[in-house]
Amino acid sequence: MDVSSDMPADAPGKTSQFEEWFARAAEIGPNKKQSIRRRNEQKILSAAEVQFAKEGFRGTTIGDIAKCADLPRANIMYYFESKEDIYRTVLYRMCLAWEGPANEFSIYSNPKEAMTTYIRAKMQLAREQPNGSKVWVSEVLRGAEIVDDYLREHLRGWLESRSNVVRHWIKLGLIEPVDPRTLFFSIWATTQHYADFSDQLCILNNDEPFSDDQFEIITTNITQLYLRGMGIS
């Protein structure tokens, strides 16, 4: 990814606690080589996603996570310092998954290919990791206190770098003039709806989760909706 003209300069100074947590979440990402430690961490985080999505941060205990992960409580505390440590890692791991597809495009990318890949990836994440998304939205609805540093120290700059790519495409006449921030906010809201409101959607779909064919049609329609809005045929 070429971001030399897009990304703000890194601020000088020592590494913040947020950056340390974020780096750790990246190390435990699902695509990393799976040592025994990493497999156990993944198991714990997957169980924690389920519990936090169902019971919230305050309603979840280390014991709940251990039971869901089918691991002794002592094992949980061996890998993570506290419940908040697990919670932050769950949140940041979700953020990294969301950001990943957008990190792949640059000012030199084909807008149609880049945005199609991004939107489809976001839709697939909504289907494959709905609990992570639900934990995130719950945290934001509670005031985003725990992820405040992520939003201020990282996401602001990240969003600006991705918006600069869209602005460059507009300048070259590759897409119609759109407000980049509104574009991204709308894509986030639309794609994550299929995770955060999955129970509602299931009821409206005759009490059945979407089949593979249904979800593919939905994904295609949503992708085409945004491409047309950008003047891409």
Please give the C-alpha separations between residue 211 and each of 3, 7, 127, 197, 217, in angstroms, as whole numbers. 38, 40, 11, 16, 10
Identify the pLDDT of residue 35. 78
**CA nearest to 109, candidates 97, 98, 100, 118:** 118
Cα gap 119→102, rounded to integer Å? 9
CB-based contacts of 66, cutoff 8 Å, min separation 6: 47, 72, 73, 75, 76
Element (H, E) at 233: none
Identify the pLDDT of residue 233. 84
Identify the pLDDT of residue 189. 97
CB 232 within 8 A of CB 115: yes
Q: Does domain 17-229 have CATH number 3.30.470.20?
A: no
Domain boundaries, the chain: 17-229
> Taking the chain (233 residues) in consecutive chunks of 10 residues, what is each chunk's mean pLDDT?
37 53 62 72 95 96 96 94 95 94 94 97 97 96 93 96 98 97 98 97 97 98 98 92
Rg of the Cα atoms in the chain: 19
Cα gap 117→111, rounded to integer Å? 10
Torsion of CA 178, 179, 180, 182, to 10 degrees: -120
CB 138 within 8 A of CB 194: no
Cα gap 117→151, rounded to integer Å? 24
Identify the pLDDT of residue 4. 37
pTM, two decimals, is 0.83
